[in-house]
Amino acid sequence: MDLGTVFAALADASRRRVVAELAADPGGRERACGSFDLPVKKATRTHHFRVLRDAGLITQRDHGNGSTVALRRDDIERHLPGLLALLVAEPRPATGPRDGAPHSTDPAPTAP
């Protein structure tokens, strides 16, 4: 649980968003990895989850096909009290749905 690694992980907007959404849920429930509306392709999403995992911010469970993530809230609050509050309080540019192309999961193969 290194501060440098944590800050580096949270320097990216997509990763910050994931942690913020997890932290905003008071129940601390698991969430499907695909349930985050990130503006990146599948491979990049996998990469981001890996970075968050290596930073010690989330745990990930593999279910064969889908996988789920959970916030390591207790560890974070113990070592870095108040950090999650900063993320939850961050003003988001536009929480609403994207307007460009209606989002599918990994879309737009222009000519397969």
Q: Which of residues 32-91 bind DNA (CB under 7 A)?
A: 32-34, 40-51, 60, 62, 64-67
Q: What is the number of alpha carbons within 13 Å of residue 90 lying toward its C-beta?
A: 21
Tell me the backbone φ, ψ of residue 89, rounded to 5 degrees: -80, -10
Residue 81 interacts, among a second copy, DNA, none and using kind-specific CB cut-offs from 5 to 8 Å, with a second copy
Decide: 23 and 71 in contact? Cβ < 8 Å.
yes
- Choose between 95 and 105: whose C-beta lies nearer to DNA: 105
- Choose between 31 and 79: whose C-beta lies nearer to a second copy: 79
